């Protein structure tokens, strides 16, 4: 199993149990690509220090499930993304296309802006609206399965095109234009995983193309609305969405990127987890009614978004027994919370019929993932269909992980069917 990789002896300290050792573990987690590819041994060691440890920059690194769950619901922890970027040296972040397009989007806003913008789009993603998409998603999965034969890259042929087609059709991105976004969105969302100058320069170039494309599409829909989400953003049924032109582009950019980048991660991480646990894959193949709990477990086991940053304490506060000082930043390690041994029995085992607490993978509170019902639906249809269509499916190499830790998935995963 990939989750048992031994950690490099990076954290040789005099006191393996003291706060310094904990901070060194966080430093390794944030800097070592090998640990980032498989962070679970590091998380296991971090859990020994309690629900939170202090990171190298003084931030509170939350790893316990109950604390993480309480923190995402506590309105006194607000998103302070501007401060974070300015501290990194991006005082001009609002004039950097990639940073502006990503960090002014819904996920990084506080009320009242957050409330106003979320209200505009939340109707499109209710459980009922998403359930109505089931036949369309089944057709998209079946088409992708038809193209999946022999040897190929699972990401290029399935994990990317399935969610891209779903969100592309919903949003109204013309089919012919979708392929170019695989690289563009990957480059743009590089800023989620790293904010070094090379990554940001590359992300800026991609963000300009994405932004201009979405601006044009919004203008076309304003002139001639269709039955898609982009039209609903620019010409809503009730007259006025109250969104400025830039807010439309930023919202569309977030929905477009969040609509597939994370789901691509769920499909590829989930496939690897299933192939590493053939007894569980067999169960899902023969007991398709397990699909709902299986997807919850797969999204827990190897979360596509491993951590959230930029929530900062507005005041001195105590959350689930944990003191947090006014102005202190937090980093919520969802992937570690999902493996909290105090909440999940045998947290490092994949058990598709696991019940109990839901995973932290979709966050919680006011920023709870808007697309969670859609991502779940796609995965609930895709995994049983894949396993049934290709009983001998296997990976032909370990594949290539996306660099960094926050967005956690594969960019290449060679398979044979
Ligand atoms: C497996 C797939 C997915 C995962 C793991 C995931 C994860 C998350 C998480 C953890 C958050 C909370 C961020 C925070 O609290 O700071 C979030 C927010 C969000 N997600 Fe997802 N997501 C997924 C799929 C999607 C899809 C398919 C869409 C769109 C169709 C989407 C749209 C959004 C949006 C718009 C937000 C911001 C919500 C807000 O701030 O109010 N996500 N997602």
Residue 15: the pLDDT is 55
Residue 40: the pLDDT is 98
Average pLDDT over the chain, rounded to an integer:
92
Residue 123: the pLDDT is 84
Rounded to 5 degrees, what are φ and ψ at 306? -85, -30
Degrees to nearest 5, angle at CA 315 with 99 and 369: 45
From atom 20 of ligand 1, which residue's Cα is the shortest distance away?
369
Q: What is 294-358 written as a DSSP string?
A: HHHHHHHHT-SB-EEEEEEESSSEEETTEEE-TT-EEEEEHHHHTT-TTTSSSTTS--TT--SSP
Ligand 1 centroid from CA 258, angstroms: 6
Q: Which atom of ligand 1 is nearest to the CA of 360?
A: 10
Q: Check pocket membership of 370 for ligand 1, CB cut-off 6 A.
A: yes
Dump pLDDT digits (tens) for 164-194.
Answer: 999 999 999 999 999 899 899 999 999 988 8
**Residues above pLDDT 70, as percent of the chain:** 95
Distance separating alpha carbons of residues 71 and 289, to the nearest angstrom: 33
Distance separating alpha carbons of residues 84 and 312, to the nearest angstrom: 10
Q: Which homologous superfamily is 2-416 in?
A: Cytochrome P450 (1.10.630.10)
> Taking the domains of the chain in order of start, what are their residue ranges?
2-416
- The preferred substitution site among 269, 294, 372 for testing ligand 1, maximizing ligand atoms within 8 Å of CB, is 372
3-state SS string for 43-84? HHHHHCCCCEEECCCCCEEECCHHHHHHHHCCCCEEECHHHH
Dump pLDDT digits (tens) for 321-362.
Answer: 999 999 999 999 999 999 999 999 999 999 999 999 999 999
Q: Which atom of ligand 1 is nearest to the CA of 308?
A: 16
Ligand 1 centroid from CA 15, angstroms: 39
Q: Which atom of ligand 1 is nearest to the CA of 304?
A: 5
Nearest to 363 by CA among 382, 326, 338: 338
Q: Check pocket membership of 382 for ligand 1, CB cut-off 6 A.
A: no
3-state secondary structure of 153: strand
Which DSSP symbol is given to 159?
A: I
What residues does 346 pair with on adjacent strands?
A: none
Q: Check pocket membership of 298 for ligand 1, CB cut-off 6 A.
A: no
Ligand 1 centroid from CA 412, angstroms: 23
Q: Check pocket membership of 118 for ligand 1, CB cut-off 6 A.
A: yes
3-state secondary structure of 130: helix
Q: Check pocket membership of 362 for ligand 1, CB cut-off 6 A.
A: yes
Q: Which atom of ligand 1 is nearest to the CA of 265?
A: 1
Q: Check pocket membership of 258 for ligand 1, CB cut-off 6 A.
A: yes
Residue 237 burial (CB < 10 Å; 0-12/13-18/19+)?
Answer: exposed
Q: Check pocket membership of 270 for ligand 1, CB cut-off 6 A.
A: no
Residue 309: the pLDDT is 87
> Which parts of the chain register pLDDT below 50?
1-14
Q: Check pocket membership of 407 for ligand 1, CB cut-off 6 A.
A: no
Distance separating alpha carbons of residues 61 and 82, to the nearest angstrom: 19
Identify whether the C-beta of residue 317 lies closer than 8 Å to the C-beta of residue 323: yes
Nearest to 210 by CA among 176, 261, 249: 249
How much of the chain is in helix, strand and coil states, percent to nearest 5? Answer: 55, 10, 35
Q: Check pocket membership of 304 for ligand 1, CB cut-off 6 A.
A: yes
Residue 41: the pLDDT is 97
Q: Check pocket membership of 262 for ligand 1, CB cut-off 6 A.
A: yes
Which long-range CB contacts under 8 A does 13-19 form with residues at least 24 apart? 17/48, 17/49, 19/49, 19/53, 19/54
Q: How far is CA 23 from the centre of its chain?
A: 25
């Amino acid at each position: 199993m990939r989750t048992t990789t031994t950690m490099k002896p990076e954290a040789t300290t005099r006191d393996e149990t003291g706060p310094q050792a904990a901070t060194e573990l966080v430093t390794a987690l944030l800097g070592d690509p090998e640990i980032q590819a498989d962070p679970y041994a590091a998380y296991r060691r971090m859990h020994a220090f309690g629900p939170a440890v202090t990171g190298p920059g003084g931030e509170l690194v939350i790893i316990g499930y109950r604390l993480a769950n309480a923190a995402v619901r506590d309105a006194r922890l607000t998103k302070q993304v501007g401060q974070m970027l300015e501290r990194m040296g991006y005082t001009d972040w609002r004039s950097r296309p990639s940073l502006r397009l990503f960090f002014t989007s819904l996920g990084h806003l506080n009320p009242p802006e957050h409330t106003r913008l979320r209200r505009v789009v939340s109707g499109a993603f209710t459980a009922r609206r998403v359930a109505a998409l089931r036949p369309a998603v089944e057709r998209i999965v079946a088409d992708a399965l038809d193209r999946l034969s022999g040897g190929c890259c699972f990401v290029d042929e399935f994990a990317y095109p399935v969610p891209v087609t779903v969100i592309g059709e919903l949003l109204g991105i013309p089919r012919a234009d979708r392929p170019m976004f695989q690289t563009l969105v990957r480059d743009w969302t590089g800023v989620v995983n790293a904010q070094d100058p090379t990554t940001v320069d590359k992300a800026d170039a991609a963000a300009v193309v994405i932004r201009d494309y979405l601006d044009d599409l919004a203008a076309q829909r304003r002139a001639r609305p269709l039955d898609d989400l982009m039209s609903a953003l620019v010409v809503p049924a009730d007259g006025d969405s109250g969104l400025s032109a830039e807010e439309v582009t930023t919202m569309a950019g977030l929905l477009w990127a969040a609509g597939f980048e994370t789901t691509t991660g769920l499909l590829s991480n989930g496939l690897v987890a299933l192939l590493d646990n053939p007894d569980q894959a067999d169960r899902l193949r023969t007991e398709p009614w397990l699909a709902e709990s299986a997807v919850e477990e797969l999204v827990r086991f190897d979360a596509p978004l491993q951590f959230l940053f930029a929530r900062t304490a507005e005041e001195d506060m105590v959350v689930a027994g944990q003191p947090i000082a006014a102005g202190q930043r937090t980093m919520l390690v969802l992937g570690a919370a999902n493996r909290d041994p105090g909440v999940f029995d045998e947290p490092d085992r994949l058990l598709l019929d696991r019940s109990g607490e839901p995973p932290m993978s979709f966050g919680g509170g006011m920023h709870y993932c808007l697309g969670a019902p859609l991502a779940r639906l796609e995965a609930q249809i895709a995994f049983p269909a894949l396993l049934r269509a290709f009983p001998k499916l296997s990976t032909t190499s370990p594949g290539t992980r996306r660099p960094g830790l926050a967005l956690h998935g594969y960019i290449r995963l060679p398979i044979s069917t």
